[in-house]
């Protein structure tokens, strides 16, 4: 390409790759960003209303370096939060946690906390849809893992058993969520397949 002044411009690396098939596997987005984007698409299309829960924080000290800008200098979590996301889909309550792990061979149960497990149990007892979305960053794979499958692993670990869920078990018992463009992590399509 030539500019009006006669200088030549080399195509950017993105333009040079434009003839290749698009690869969504390494865009640098975190799982949370992908889910937030997906939830926004669900809301805009009227498919579901699902939001990230705010974490309750107690602000202790604030500085005002400028009249228009406040800087929080000290804050504490008021209480332990439950899970990351909740909402409603097809008239059912939906509640889930999102976790990323760099571990290649398993999902460490230390990524989940006891108060979250209790909350998941309560959601299941009341007929809600509850699960964990797990991303194995090394493999570039994302899975929906039902809370009903997670709870026995938690129980075993509290009784001295294994402290992680093997990767191959999550592949078998979980549901692979392929990354897409419009809805990055289309977990509602997986829920539809599961007939929940």
Question: How far apart, in whole angstroms, are the C-alpha atoms of residue 90 and residue 188?
Answer: 10
Question: How far apart, in whole angstroms, are the C-alpha atoms of residue 166 and residue 143?
Answer: 13
Binding annotation for Mg(2+): 82, 84, 97, 116
pLDDT beyond 70 at 14 = no
Beta carbons within 8 Å of 9's beta carbon, 6+ residues apart = 1, 2, 3
Average pLDDT over residues 160-185: 95
Question: How far apart, in whole angstroms, are the C-alpha atoms of residue 165 and residue 157?
Answer: 10
- The overall average pLDDT reported for the chain is 84
Rounded alpha-carbon distances, angstroms, from residue 160 to 89, 156, 168, 191: 37, 7, 21, 32
40-194, CATH topology level: Trna Endonuclease; Chain: A, domain 1 (3.40.1350)
Cβ distance 179 to 34 under 8 Å? yes
pLDDT beyond 60 at 69 = yes
How high is the pLDDT of residue 131? 97
Residues recorded for the chain: 196
Residue-wise pLDDT tens digits, 103-129: 999 999 999 999 999 999 999 999 999
| Residue 90 region by backbone torsions, left for phi larger than 0, else alpha for psi between -120 and 50, else beta | left
pLDDT beyond 70 at 5 = no
Task: Tell the residue number behind the tokens 């006669």, with chain if given.
Answer: 6
How high is the pLDDT of residue 126? 96
Residue-wise pLDDT tens digits, 89-104: 999 999 999 999 999 9
% the chain with pLDDT above 90:
66
Structure-token pair, residue 16: 């040079």
Binding annotation: 82, 84, 97, 116
How high is the pLDDT of residue 13? 40
pTM listed for this prediction: 0.75
Out of 24-28, 31-35, 50-54, 135-139, pick the least confident.
24-28
Burial letters 103-124, b for 16+ CB under 10 A, else e: eeebbebeebeeebbebbeebb
More confident of the two residues 53 and 85: 85
């Amino acid at each position: 390409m030539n500019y009006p002044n006669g200088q030549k411009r080399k195509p950017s690396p993105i333009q040079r790759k434009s003839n290749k098939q698009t690869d969504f596997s390494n865009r640098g987005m975190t799982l949370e960003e992908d889910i937030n984007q997906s939830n926004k698409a669900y809301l805009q299309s009227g498919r579901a209303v699902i939001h990230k829960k705010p974490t309750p924080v107690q602000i202790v000290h604030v500085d005002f370096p400028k009249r228009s800008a406040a800087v929080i200098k000290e804050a504490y979590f008021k209480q332990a939060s439950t899970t990351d996301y909740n909402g409603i889909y097809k008239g059912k309550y939906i509640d889930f946690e999102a976790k990323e792990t760099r571990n290649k061979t398993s999902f460490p149960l230390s990524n989940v906390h006891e108060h979250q497990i209790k909350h998941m149990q309560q959601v299941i007892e009341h007929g809600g849809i509850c699960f964990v979305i797990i991303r194995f960053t090394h493999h570039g794979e994302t899975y929906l893992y039902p809370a009903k499958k997670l709870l026995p692993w938690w129980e075993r670990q509290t009784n001295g058993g294994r402290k992680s869920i093997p990767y191959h078990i999550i592949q078998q018992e979980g549901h692979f969520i392929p990354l897409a463009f419009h809805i990055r992590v289309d977990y509602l399509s997986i829920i539809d397949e599961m007939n929940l």
